[in-house]
Amino acid sequence: MNAPAPVDAVHAFSSDASGRTHYRRAGPVDGPVVVFVSGATLPMAVWEPLAAKLVDAGFHVLRYDLPGRGHTRPLSHRADFQAHLDQLEALLNDLDIRQPVRLVGLASGALVVAAYASANPARVSHAALIAPDGAATHFTPTERLLGTPVIGDLLFRLSARRTLLARIPRYSSRPQTRAFVEELLMYSLGTPGFHQAVLATVRTFPLHDGEAQYRKLRDAGIPTCVVWGAEDLITPAAAAGVFTTLFGRDAVHVLQGAGHLPFVEAPASVGLMLERHFAGSRPGF
């Protein structure tokens, strides 16, 4: 029997009323669909180590750039929290993905996953949250000022490069991971609309009070796992207790020796965790 035809569409675009979304699909065309949702500052390339593992495991992987990141142009009208939910919905519709998907969200992307999945439980079979924002997101005083209109705009325009690069040591203690993050951040800083998009995330996402979103995800009955790096200094793993209470002890995995991007530093381990999680059944599916 012939193997399923693979998909590997680089620099493909989906269009909807609000703009054009850059995405990449890879893996067997009839494989279970996994959709990655990135965080506030990094393009979809951040998922490459984990995407490769899941493709090898037979999953059909979809990654995309958020508005003002990577090759996705900024939205002409808004880039608030709801706009990110609308973008995900439009992308799934435009690509005619009808089977329930498995959503994986990083940091602020975990909030998008929680909100979308709880509002569309028939379209999502499983959710995975990696270093989720909303319970223990840590901002420095300078980063908190970004939420202030006018002052925050001026500050970020003048200091975006310095502010974002100063965060790199909090991602990881590993030089290789830091170099990877720096490369992606430097790319992001040159993206049209990036500054405004990041400010919109800081100002409209529930980055400090997202528990309600995760509670709705739990109440929707969607199987959820949470993955954290024990050395994460951006979204400290101390918040794992909140998610243990919500989803149960077995649902939360804290990886020793890993930082904010555990799937970059331990892609095989995280990939196996997700494979096992996605293999679990959901009542009614």
Give the pLDDT of residue 3: 40
Angle at 221 between CA 96 and CA 261, to 5 degrees: 75
The whole-number pLDDT of residue 20 equals: 81
The predicted model gives 229-251 an average pLDDT of: 92
- Residue 209's pLDDT band (boundaries 50, 70, 90)? confident
Asked if the model's pLDDT at residue 6 lies above 70, the reply is no
Look at 2-11, 69-78, 184-193 and tell me which has the smallest mean pLDDT. Answer: 2-11
Q: How far apart are CA 48 and CA 59, in angstroms?
A: 14
CATH number, domain of 137, equals: 3.40.50.1820
Asked if the structure places residue 215 within a domain, the reply is yes
Residue 284 lies in a domain: no
1 pLDDT above the threshold of 50: no
Task: Kindly state whether residue 189 falls inside one of the protein's structural domains.
Answer: yes
Number of domains present in the structure of the chain: 1
Q: What is the pTM of this model?
A: 0.90
Helix (H, G, I), strand (E, B) or coil at 218: helix
Answer whether 10's CB lies under 8 Å from 44's CB. no
CA distance 6 to 107: 30
Q: What tokens appear for 104 in the block?
A: 């994986």
Domain residues for the domain of 190 are 6-279
Which range among 25-29, 70-74, 187-191 has the greatest average pLDDT?
Answer: 25-29
CA distance linking residue 134 with residue 150, whole number of Å: 24
The Cα 146–Cα 162 span in angstroms is 13
Structure tokens at 156: 């970020």
The pLDDT value given to residue 285: 64
Residue 9: which pLDDT band, with cuts at 50, 70 and 90?
Answer: very low
Q: Which two tokens stand for residue 166?
A: 């100063």
1 part of a folded domain: no
Per-residue pLDDT reduced to its tens digit, 113-135: 999 999 999 999 999 999 999 98
- Cα–Cα nearest to 140, from 163, 159, 122, 162: 163
Residue 182 has pLDDT above 50, yes or no: yes
Burial of 94 (0-12, 13-18, 19+ CB in 10 A): middle
Is 126 inside a domain boundary?
yes
Higher pLDDT, 140 or 235: 235
For the chain, give the mean pLDDT.
88
**194-204 vs 151-166: helix axis angle to the nearest 10?**
100
Tell me, yes or no, whether 173 lies in a domain: yes
Mean predicted confidence (pLDDT) in 158-166: 85
The DSSP result for 53-106, as a single string, is: HHHHTT-EEEEEPPTTSTTPPPPSS--SHHHHHHHHHHHHHHTT--S-EEEEEE
Count of beta carbons in the 10 Å neighbourhood of residue 36: 26
Tell me whether residue 285 is in a domain. no
pLDDT category at 84 given cuts 50, 70, 90 is: very high
Q: How many helices (H) and strands (E) does the chain have?
A: 12, 8
pLDDT-derived band at 47, boundaries 50, 70, 90: very high
